Structure formats: structure tokens, C-alpha cells
């Protein structure tokens, strides 16, 4: 059962720094709650973020923000919630930022402070053993395709659909779902013919024998962290830069097999609010 975003505070998972011997690098006034750095996360995208058999948060984005918070000497807390209400909740100061592997877009960079930190693309997947081959975007014409609602993947898919129709092809039957997990469940149930997933999640689900990738590396773009406060975003960006310099960033991405951002430093990208 999903919990409404307005009850998300009840799902805060404190990851405090025990026996603190350092001074917080982020002033309490810059945080939603002075006791911790709170980040919204949608744990349905392995290996970026997911819940293990014990109900614990795992994944690159989880470990990355834990390390950032440790270096900033600020206790870390995650708010588990679905993706669609994240931006409204951020605007309402329900938490400090979003850590869910979202794609960077210029539009998003104007309504919050975005810090790109990784590179990502899109894959077309089908149910394992289905025999269906969709080798490129054009192969989606006339097919039913599931995608996570309000995500970059949906925007990309609707752009593909528009191009197909403009060239005289059959439109894609686009069906949206709340989470990537729901998209995969619909694929397995035969409700859709293809699932549009971020490439790293697709690879993980392939490893589990659930889907097959028929096309990948599509619509590549950076993924980003998102913050409501510029000072907090700047502190996190500087910490990621330090992690890149001392090798911690590369080690983390190598461990999870994710694609690094081709940069030696990290910073806010875009104008931010106002």
C-alpha cells in the first residue's frame, strides 16, 4: 500500500552520525529541519535505489547521499514516496531535496537547484521469452508501451510518438504507471508489449531474468539531485567534487556499475527558482 506524500514524514529513516566529533557544514537555518538533511527517494529503481529483503534502503543513490551527509557532518534522513508528488512536496518545504535518479531538464533547473551527478539513457524492454523484437524507437509504432508517469522517460516516449505519427506511422499506445515496478508488473502480466525503463534499471531487471532489452542507449541525458535551497545544493556539489578528487565517487559508481558524469567537478546547473 502506498502512503500519501503528506504522510511521508512518518517514513523518515534517520541515519544520524553517532557520537559526532565534527561541526555541521550546513547551518540549521538552511535545512527544513535542523536535525537532519532530508531527501525524498523513490526506492523502485535498482540498482540506483531499492528496498532489500529486510526492508532497508539500498543502492548507489542511498550510499552516495549517506557519504555526502557524513562528510558534511549532518545526519541523513530519507523520505520514501512515489515520484509524481515530489516537486510539489519540495515546493511546500516537506524536505530539502530529491535523490531519485531523475533526468536533468532545463525546465526542472528553473524550479529548483539541480546538481547533475551521473549519466543515464533509456532502454526498450520486453518480457523475457516473449520473442518480440523492437530494435529502435520506430519499432514502437502501433505497440503498447508502459512508462513511469511524469518522468523524463514519459516525455521522451511522447516525443518519439509524435515523430512516428508525423511520418505517417501508427501511434504508440502509451500507458503510464506510478512507478517503474508497476511498469514491469504490467509487462509481466501481458498488459503492455514493451516497458520503457532507464538503462541501469533495465540491466538489473534483465539480470533477474524478468525482461529482455531490445534497444538501449536512447535519449541519453544527465541525472540530477534537486534542492530547494541554493546553499545546500552548493555544499552537496562541493562534497561530490571532493569525493571525485579522492576516488570515493569513482569507487561507488564502479561498485554499482553505473555511468559516471564525465566531469571532474560538480555544480548547480541552470538558473534555479526565480
Q: Could you read off the pLDDT of 84-111 as tens digits, one per residue? A: 999 999 999 999 999 999 999 999 999 9
Q: Please, what are the domains in the chain?
A: 8-120+221-256 (3.40.190.10), 121-220 (3.40.190.10)
Whole-angstrom CA distances from 168 to 13, 105, 164, 174 are: 51, 29, 7, 17
Mean pLDDT of 264-272: 97
User: C-alpha distances in angstroms, 4 versus 86, 169, 218, 265?
Assistant: 11, 40, 33, 36
- Is the pLDDT at 18 greater than 70? The verdict is no
Q: Answer yes or no: are the C-beta atoms of 185 and 178 closer than 8 Å.
A: no
Instruction: Give yes or no for residue 130 having a pLDDT over 70.
Output: yes
Read off the pLDDT of each residue in 249-257 and give the average, rounded to a whole number. 95
First to last CA, the chain: 37
Nearest of 151, 153, 180 to residue 50 by alpha carbon: 180
Cα(261)–Cα(234) distance, integer angstroms: 17
**What's the rounded mean pLDDT across residues 185-195?**
97
pLDDT at 73 over 80: yes
Q: How confident is the model at residue 10 (pLDDT cuts 50, 70, 90)?
A: very low
Q: Lowest-confidence range among 27-31, 62-66, 218-222, 239-243?
A: 218-222
pLDDT band at 2 (very low <50, low <70, confident <90, very high): very low
What H or E segment, with its residue span, contains residue 160? Answer: helix 152-166
- Does residue 193 have a pLDDT over 90? yes
State the cell numbers at 242.
Answer: 571532493
Residue 124: pLDDT band (50, 70, 90) is very high
> How many of the other CB atoms lie within 10 Å of CB of 251?
10
Q: Tell me the mean pLDDT in the region 52-74.
A: 97
Q: What's this model's pTM, rounded to 2 decimal places?
A: 0.81
Q: What is the DSSP string of 210-271?
A: SEEEEEEEEEEEEEEEEES-HHHHHHHHHHHHHHHHHTHHHHHHHHHTPPBPS-SS---BS-
Residue 13: pLDDT band with limits 50, 70, 90: very low
Banded pLDDT at 245 (limits 50, 70, 90)? very high
Whether the predicted pLDDT of 68 surpasses 50: yes
With contact defined as beta carbons under 8 Å apart, do 134 and 124 qualify?
Answer: yes
Q: What is the pLDDT of residue 131?
A: 93
Cα dist. 178→11, 78, 93, 216 in Å? 19, 19, 22, 22
Cell of 46: 535498482
- Mean pLDDT confidence for 155-181: 97
> What is the percentage of the chain residues whose pLDDT exceeds 70?
93
Of the pLDDT bands very low, low, confident and very high (cuts 50, 70, 90), residue 3 is: very low
Q: Tell me which of 13-17, 115-119, 205-209 is least confident.
A: 13-17
Distances (CA, A) of 121 to 1, 89, 166, 216, 261: 30, 26, 24, 7, 12
Give the strand order in the sheet containing 57-58. Answer: 44-45, 49-51, 57-58
**CA nearest to 236, candidates 113, 118, 120:** 113
**Quick check: 44 pLDDT over 80?**
yes
Confidence of residue 17 (pLDDT cuts 50, 70, 90): very low
Amino acid at each position: 500500500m502506498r502512503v500519501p506524500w503528506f504522510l511521508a514524514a512518518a517514513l523518515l529513516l534517520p541515519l544520524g552520525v553517532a557520537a559526532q566529533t565534527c561541526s555541521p557544514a550546513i547551518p540549521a537555518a538552511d535545512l527544513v529541519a535542523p536535525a537532519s538533511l532530508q531527501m525524498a527517494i523513490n526506492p523502485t529503481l535498482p540498482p540506483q535505489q531499492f528496498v532489500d529483503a529486510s526492508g532497508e534502503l539500498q543502492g548507489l543513490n542511498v550510499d552516495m547521499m549517506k557519504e555526502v551527509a557524513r562528510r558534511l557532518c549532518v545526519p541523513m534522513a530519507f523520505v520514501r514516496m512515489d515520484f509524481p508528488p515530489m516537486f510539489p512536496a519540495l515546493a511546500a518545504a516537506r524536505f530539502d531535496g530529491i535523490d531519485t535518479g531523475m533526468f536533468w531538464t532545463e525546465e526542472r533547473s528553473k524550479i529548483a537547484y539541480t546538481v547533475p551527478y551521473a549519466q543515464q539513457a533509456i532502454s526498450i524492454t520486453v518480457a523475457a521469452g516473449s520473442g518480440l523484437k523492437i530494435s529502435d524507437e520506430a519499432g514502437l509504432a502501433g505497440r503498447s508501451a508502459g512508462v513511469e508517469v511524469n518522468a523524463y522517460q514519459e516525455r521522451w516516449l511522447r516525443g518519439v510518438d509524435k515523430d512516428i505519427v508525423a511520418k505517417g506511422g501508427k501511434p504508440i499506445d502509451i500507458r503510464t504507471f506510478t512507478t517503474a515496478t508497476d511498469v514491469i508488473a504490467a509487462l509481466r502480466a501481458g498488459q503492455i508489449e514493451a516497458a520503457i525503463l532507464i538503462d541501469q534499471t533495465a540491466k538489473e531487471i534483465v539480470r533477474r531474468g524478468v525482461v529482455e532489452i531490445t534497444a538501449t542507449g536512447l535519449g541519453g541525458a544527465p541525472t540530477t539531485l534537486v534542492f530547494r535551497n541554493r546553499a545546500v545544493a552548493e555544499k552537496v556539489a562541493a562534497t561530490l567534487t571532493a569525493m571525485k578528487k579522492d576516488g570515493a565517487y569513482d569507487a561507488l559508481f564502479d561498485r554499482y556499475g553505473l555511468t559516471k558524469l564525465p566531469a571532474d567537478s560538480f555544480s548547480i546547473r541552470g538558473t534555479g527558482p526565480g
